[in-house]
Structure 1
Amino acid sequence: MIAARTGGAAILTGVGLTIGYTALISGADAITKMFAASYAAPQLFALSGGIVALLAVLADRAGPAPRGVRTACPRAMAIRSAATVLGAAAFFHAFRLLPFAEVFLFIAMIPLFAALLSGPVLGESVRPQAWGALMLGLVGLLWVAPAGISSLGLGHAVALAAVLLGTISMMASRYIGTRDVNLLAQVFWPNLALAGVMACALPFVWAPMGRADLGWACAYGALLFAARWLLVGAFRALPAYVITPLMNLQFLWMVVIGAAIFGEVPGAAIYIGATLVITAGVWLIYDQVYPAATMRRVVTAE
């Protein structure tokens, strides 16, 4: 069982990397929301994808032992790249069509999809306690939807598609991460694919950009590079069904950003939902630690 083989250092590393990822990706999401009001998706992603791919190459060359961008899992990388391109476009339009709370309501489904795929795709067993924590996290994020999900429209369908594609990309990342130590390859290839595909559509949707917007686009690329690098490392340290619920901490960052930048005042339901999500994350961490600690005590006793 994966949980039984995961050490304490790997757990702390995975949790720390995931928390850092949520902070960085929340900043990138805020920029996405700003751009979605005035520009088409290719205008942001063609530039940012190219920036992230370039940063990946520079980071590799600056390292003590450059590995290049070769991958040991080309088929899985192709799946991850395709899911990343389609998922990025879907999330961009979801942020345009829906409020943050409703988008995150769908993002709450990612842990459930990840848990369903962990067994057949990754061979990672999911303990019953983890299912309980996953359900608690979903209930917590249901509190965040002020209007509920009684009326579904195009935006909800796009958000659901984005979540499914995001889950596929994360599963592929976990699969590659357990077989290939070259983390930067996972950052380089999906973003190169994103830049290439979006560049093909760019001539049809281009709108003039001022220096400020160009600067925000560059900042988006830098945040995305750092966030994805951290996330790849997190998936190498912990199973996907533990990482994905912890990623819901992103909502807490969005509450802070929404209040500070967009003037959104969160209601009591948001804090209740956040408490449940944090509780679910702590529960999953405990479920990850407890079997390993029990096994160490048994070995010591023998």
Structure 2
Amino acid sequence: MTGLGRTTLLGTALVVLYTLAISSADAITKFVAQGYAAPQLFAFSGAVVVAMSWIGARMKREGQSLRTTCPRAMALRAALTVVGSVAFFYAFKLLPFAEVFVFIGMMPIFAGLFSAPVLGEHVRPLAWGALAAGFVGVLCLFPGGLASVSLGHLVALFACVTGTLSMVLARYIGKHESNSLAQVFYPNLALFLAMAMALPFVYKPMPMSDLAWVGAYAGFLFAARWLSVIALRLLAAYAVTPLMNLQFVWMVVLGAVFFGEVPAANIYLGVAIVIASGVFLVYDQMQPEGTPYPWVTRLGTRFPILKFVVKTVD
């Protein structure tokens, strides 16, 4: 296997672990959102993640600096993280757990749109087809569609856009520096500071059991964001985000266990389409840039009338 192939497979494995961690964090978010305001969760968890990032940096040989060489991009990513985190918090509060996945499933489309102007990454035409198929798969999960648009739907859409921009910026920063802990430290520092200022206005006493849930949320969030930063250095943003749709599998399990949500049969059809889309995008990422897909080349060779396909695709 080539170095490019190994890098892609490693990135894929990290994204799968990310989906498990972030789905666990999302489930805790929905649980906490039923009784507390957003600042109460994010002020405490942000402080814990900041501390974990600082300790992680100090534990490295000779100490790792948390300085960044992209201060403006990091500041924008931090601001988007704050806004997106609050938006997702209220999306989970206003909508059923699995329904938010409709908007999470749209993130690959937005990533493809943002990758060209922000990252200068070329998205091949067949990859756009896979992105569209993934979105269709997500729509299959909810055959009723979005006929009845509510405030929760609008909040979830806004969260999707800001969250995608934050991830695309993570890849942009990752192209200029390899300090992954800095990308965990600064967004969570911004989240902690912003939520700490609002906390006195919404604070409610928390029993030890709820504090333990907040601590668990911080641990899952730290793992998820660290894994996502590394994965975004290894794979293009439009390849990572469809793979993140795998978190729906974990959301089905967590929703059934903790919230009594049992998916219908059509949901599994949508999941199959989404996963197939993600697998194809990993395959696309493994192909050297500027070269046609091997199976497309063979098709054009065997059927001369279809040679135009090769030119169209690449």
| Letter paired with 1:86 | V
**Superposition deviation, residue 261 in structure 1:** 2.0
Q: How does 1:144-183 map to 2 (within 5 A)?
A: 144-183=141-180
User: Which residue is 1:12 aligned to?
Assistant: 9
Question: Percent same amino acid among aligned pairs?
Answer: 57
- List per-residue Cα deviations over 1:207-226 (Å, max 9, x = no partner): 11000000000110011001
Which residue is 1:133 aligned to?
A: 130
Question: In 2, distance between residues paired with 1:275 and 1:111?
Answer: 16
Evaluate the alpha carbon distance shift between residue 17 and residue 65 of structure 1 in structure 2; reply closer, same or farther with a 3 A threshold.
Answer: farther
Q: Distance in 1 between matches of 2:216 and 2:114?
A: 33
Unaligned stretches of 5+ in structure 1? 298-302
Matched, 1:264 2:267: no
Q: By how many angstroms is 1:191 displaced? A: 0.1
Mapped contact 1:133–1:281 kept (Cα < 8 A): yes
Question: Which among 185, 209, 216 is matched to residue 212 of structure 1?
Answer: 209
CA distance in 1, matches of 2:67, 2:130: 37
More moved, 161-170 vs 282-291? 282-291
Correspondence for 1:188 among 168, 181, 185: 185
Distance 1:263 1:209 in 2: 25
Question: Which of the pair has the greater relative contact order for Cα pairs under 8 Å at 6+ separation?
Answer: 1
Deviation at 1:264, TM superposition (A): 1.6
**Aligned partner of residue 9 in structure 2, secondary structure:** helix
1:2-31, Cα deviation, whole Å (9 max, x unpaired): xxx971121011101100000000000000
Alignment of 1:13-32 (within 5 A): 13-32=10-29
TM-score (norm 1): 0.93
The answer to whether the 8 A contact 1:57-1:68 is kept is no
In structure 2, the residue matched to 1:58 is 55
Residue 279 of structure 1 aligns to a residue in which SS? helix
Paired residue for 1:109? 106
Map Cα deviations across residues 139-182 of structure 1 (whole Å, 9 max, x no partner): 11111225320011111111111011101101110100111111
2:307 is matched with: none
Q: Is the 8 A contact 1:6 1:238 kept in 2?
A: no
Q: How many residues align?
A: 292
Counterpart of 1:239, as a letter, is A
Which protein is bigger by CA-based radius of gyration?
Answer: 2
2:88 to 87, 91, 106: 91
1:234 and 2:226 matched: no
The answer for unaligned runs of 5 or more in structure 2 is 295-314
1:80-110 Cα offsets, whole Å, 9 max, x none, are 0000000000000000111123211111111
Q: Is the 8 A contact 1:87 1:165 kept in 2?
A: yes
Residue type matched to 1:75 in 2?
Answer: R
